[in-house]
Chain A
Amino acid sequence: MPVSDLGPEIALITGAIAALLLAMVLPQRRQGWCLAPALAALAVAGVRAFAHVNEARLTFSGVWALDGITLWARLLIVVATALCLILAPRWFETDRRHGEFYTMVLFSALGAIAMAAAADLMQLVMAVLLSSITGYVLAAWHRDWALSVEAGMKYFLIGALANALLAIGVIFLMGMAGTSDYAALKQVEITSPLGLTGLALIVTGLAFKLGAVPGHTWVPDVAEGAPAPAAAFLTIVPKIGAALALYRLVQLFPEQDMLRPLIAALSLATMTMGNLAALWQDDVRRLIGWSSVSQSGYALMAVAVADLSTHALPSLIWFLAAYALANLTGLAVVAHLRGRTALGDYAGLGRTRPLITAALIVSFLSLIGIPPLIGFVGKLGLFIVTIDGGYTWLALAAVLNTVASLFYYARVIAPMYFANAHDGRPATLGWEVGAVAVFCAVALIGVGLVSGPYLTHGAGIVALP
């Protein structure tokens, strides 16, 4: 077997094990050093990903696709994971056993990559489970803080149900189609009710990972209760994997006339639900969580028109990149402010912490889709492909939702920038965390301006099988 095809994944496993071993020998104060092997592994994985840059083939007996989707999933996930991990050492400074955190995150990132790369239903189940089980641990990391445990518990309960549904769906579909292999599934026409039910159940299972309706309820709790680095990771990385996996699944059945309307309906429900719930949210972390739900809804727009428009896949990838950067900025700012979460506590922050305030404002503006930030390019791509694919009503719904979302983002932006501070300069976590926030905010502007070359290249991104 061509082991080198899995270079990035092997690097992640090696890094995870190295971090675990290191955590065993390090003194309790030095657990943060495990960041080093983790980052090294991510760097190697990122570089190794480029070894397959122009390839489009299936490997490992057809269960693993090496194509444009996998390449971009690897790159996005590696970068996002690295940025999340940099937040961790300071956040967990007082946690004397957090060396294993890095191992867990790396395994979870591995699961997310495997999701996007899966070209076989069994492989998909394995990837979702790997990503979920590590996710439960990450969400409940603060063992003695009720909110964190609640977040982990909720994540686990919904996840267990969703994963069970996913497994049942896979069984139905396999049973009806006679194969679990994507390349073979593409040749089969699914008409039996049982097969269709299976397909719907698989979508439901992936919707949980994506944080989309009906599996979305964990997102705000995780954003609020999980440690900030884990919250950032869990609201970003599994979503990237799930959205791309869903895209791969939908394009398998181009003739299937139930699947796309189903995805479009989920998209509409998700964006509306997320925005309505965020409207009057007085807790900034929960607000970011709900906004992240609505962003999943937007991502589903591109999935609904998979293959109907030539730009659907590049638009989806760029939107995910934009979302990842913006959400990471937001949660890095929260982490930098030591997890400060009540909306009232953000008033006047523009006076006392101008740079970090600017980062948060840029992040929110990008989530709204204000040009020339990358969020605008991402959303523009989504609008183009949705209209091009014949789902104009969905684009219109997204527009209305965008306007509604402005309302709650402005509820945070306005007091931060307009009001006067009522207490002194708030304490922060450390320069690394602030640097991540500022770096992401700069990237939101910078990458947005250079989107041109990507989109030119984008039409060539291949999706197998």
Chain B
Amino acid sequence: MLTLAIMLPFAAAVLLAFVPASPRVSRAIAIATAALSLLALVVVWIGFSPGQGFHAMLEIPWIPALGVAWRVGVDGISLSLALMSGLLFVAAIAWPMDREFNARQYYAWFLFLEGASLGLFLTLDLLVFYVFFDLSLVGMYFLIGRWGHGQAQRSALKFFLYTLVGSLLILLAIIALVLMTDPLTFDMRELIATQPVAGMDLRAGLILLGFVIGFAIKTPLFPVHTWLPPAHVDAPGPASAILAGVLLKMGTYGLVRIPMQMMRETFATWALALAIVALISILWGSIVAFAQENLKRRIAYTSVNHMGYAVLGIAVAGSALTGHEAARELALTGAVVEMVAHGLITGALFLIAGAFWARAQDYDLAHYGGLAGSAPRLMAVTWLASFASLGLPGLAGFVAEVQIFIGAFAVWPWIAAIGLLGLIVTAALFLGMLQRLFFGERPPALDEFTDLTWSELGILAAVLVLVVLIGVWPAWLLDLIGAGTALTIGGG
């Protein structure tokens, strides 16, 4: 079933790449495929009982000499992220294109990207993980470069270069880690169980450094986040939503799955350093976002801030081998909820930004104002998404952040205290943004500004309903994640 969820988009992408189809047919095929993929994941979810290692596993040998195989399987963390990605892909594909040309190729690349993203979350083989990690770069590169606007090629290349550095460092670290096993195996379950670098000092530290830098670039953390704003600003709206909602999660997911689970001891040694980097990202992301005059750049920098929370949660969770179990568990759950919530919320925000661009070809906040009267539906969803993003109680972001901060207070109170400042700045910047978009004088250039169409509204509603649902009744998601077992036996 998991293999089906990964392979369907790839197959449809190949189909669209070679079979001439009209834009409408391509769009229909793409939406149907993404929906089927999501359906396959939901089927897995229905049969899922948390807390017992990996589920829905399948293993087909590929390169036996190196211990590489097609291995898929999910635990609570990967399943929740995959479900979120599947949903976001349906939304992004269904969202109308920014610039209507070459629809067939556009949808083919989107499906290709979906296959790679789902594959990354669902695989249990490190090499296959890396393969999908790289493929996601290729898919995003072509989407930004071809269908973006502004300096799209430049931004796409910057994105590709930065993240390729990261992914190759990860590859080296993976190889160094795997070479510790005998016989060679890239099986994640095996690596989690055997902890191949336990008891080594320098070598384990270097491997950890490779992983952390690689995933930090993808996440992104300060100071390697600089590829993110241009990539977002120039990408088409739906691609931005995927970039923020799904691709950034690859960094944090990788951080949980590989260094935290496979190198527990080394990770614990360096957890404080990682937490400090996360703290800087939280503050830096929110302060810089506050200063942005460009709508999309502002949202992009809040991603740096939010992913900082997620990494802080991960650092807290991996901070020790024993002690503070409850707090660490809480922090990890919080981090995963943050990933899911941020994916949904920021995905919605970027789709909304796409709607602004589609109507006015402009992201400059100074050129907007007074839209409350002419676009009430747009205002409603923007308010909802922004409040969710700044962590209003009753919405998904709050559930995540509260757990992360409670966990962090137990382990490193001072980091948690400083990190709270980020929340205040974020609240200020979102409120300021809303005010400038919707209130005040409406510039004459915006007289023609139309409200959201019903299909756009429907897509956003589907995403935001979940945000509210997680906010008011998080139990189902927390059960699904079941972080406790991930800390001790790996998987869960």
Which A positions have Cβ atoms within 8 angstroms of B? Answer: 311, 365, 370-372, 376, 380, 383-384, 387-388, 392, 395-396, 399-400, 402-403, 406-407, 410, 414, 417-418, 451-452, 455-456, 458-459
Q: In the complex, are the beta carbons of A410 and B172 less than 8 A apart?
A: no
Question: Contacts of B134 on A, CB cut-off 8 Å?
Answer: 370-371, 376
Residue in B160, B169, B179 whose CB lies within 8 Å of A387? B179
Number of residues of chain B lying within 8 A (CB) of chain A: 31
Closest to B166 in A: A403
Q: In the complex, are the beta carbons of B63 and A414 less than 8 A apart?
A: no
Q: In the complex, are the beta carbons of A383 and B62 less than 8 A apart?
A: no
Closest to A314 in B: B65
Q: A370-B138, A410-B160, A452-B61 are in contact. Are A403 and B146 (CB under 8 A)?
A: no
Residue in A371, A414, A451 whose CB lies within 8 Å of B145? A414
Give, as a whole number of angstroms, the nearest-CB distance from B157 to chain A: 5
A104 vs B64: C-alpha distance in the bound complex, in angstroms? 42
Question: Contacts of B176 on A, CB cut-off 8 Å?
Answer: 387, 392
Q: In the complex, are the beta carbons of B152 and A403 less than 8 A apart?
A: no
Excluding A371-B134, A388-B179, A414-B157, 5 further A-B contacts by CB distance (< 8 Å) are A365-B138, A383-B171, A384-B66, A384-B179, A403-B161
A414 vs B169: C-alpha distance in the bound complex, in angstroms? 25
Question: Contacts of A392 on B, CB cut-off 8 Å?
Answer: 172, 176
In this complex, the member of A384, A392, A402, A455 whose beta carbon has the largest number of chain B beta carbons within 10 angstroms is: A384
Question: Contacts of A399 on B, CB cut-off 8 Å?
Answer: 165, 168-169, 171-172
- Label chain A's interface by main secondary structure: helix
Q: In the complex, are the beta carbons of B172 and A417 less than 8 A apart?
A: no
A313 vs B472: C-alpha distance in the bound complex, in angstroms? 60
Closest to A384 in B: B175
In this complex, the member of A370, A371, A396, A410 whose beta carbon has the largest number of chain B beta carbons within 10 angstroms is: A371
Give, as a whole number of angstroms, the nearest-CB distance from B384 to chain A: 36
Which B positions have Cβ atoms within 8 angstroms of A? Answer: 61-66, 68, 127, 130-131, 134-135, 138, 142, 145-146, 152-153, 156-157, 160-161, 164-165, 168-169, 171-172, 175-176, 179
Closest to B162 in A: A403
Give, as a whole number of angstroms, the nearest-CB distance from A79 to chain B: 22
A1 vs B167: C-alpha distance in the bound complex, in angstroms? 54
Q: In the complex, are the beta carbons of A406 and B152 less than 8 A apart?
A: no
Q: In the complex, are the beta carbons of B65 and A456 less than 8 A apart?
A: yes
Q: In the complex, are the beta carbons of B172 and A383 less than 8 A apart?
A: yes
Q: In the complex, are the beta carbons of B65 and A402 less than 8 A apart?
A: no
Can you pick out 30 interface pairs between chain A and chain B where the beta carbons lie within 8 Å of each other?
A311-B65, A370-B134, A370-B135, A371-B131, A376-B131, A380-B127, A380-B175, A387-B176, A392-B176, A399-B165, A399-B169, A402-B164, A402-B168, A403-B164, A403-B168, A406-B160, A406-B164, A407-B161, A414-B145, A414-B153, A417-B142, A417-B145, A417-B146, A418-B153, A452-B64, A452-B65, A456-B64, A456-B65, A458-B65, A459-B65
A372 vs B63: C-alpha distance in the bound complex, in angstroms? 13
Question: Contacts of B64 on A, CB cut-off 8 Å?
Answer: 452, 456
Question: Contacts of B65 on A, CB cut-off 8 Å?
Answer: 311, 452, 455-456, 458-459
Residue in A371, A400, A406, A451 whose CB lies within 8 Å of B135? A371
Question: Contacts of B175 on A, CB cut-off 8 Å?
Answer: 380, 383-384, 387, 395
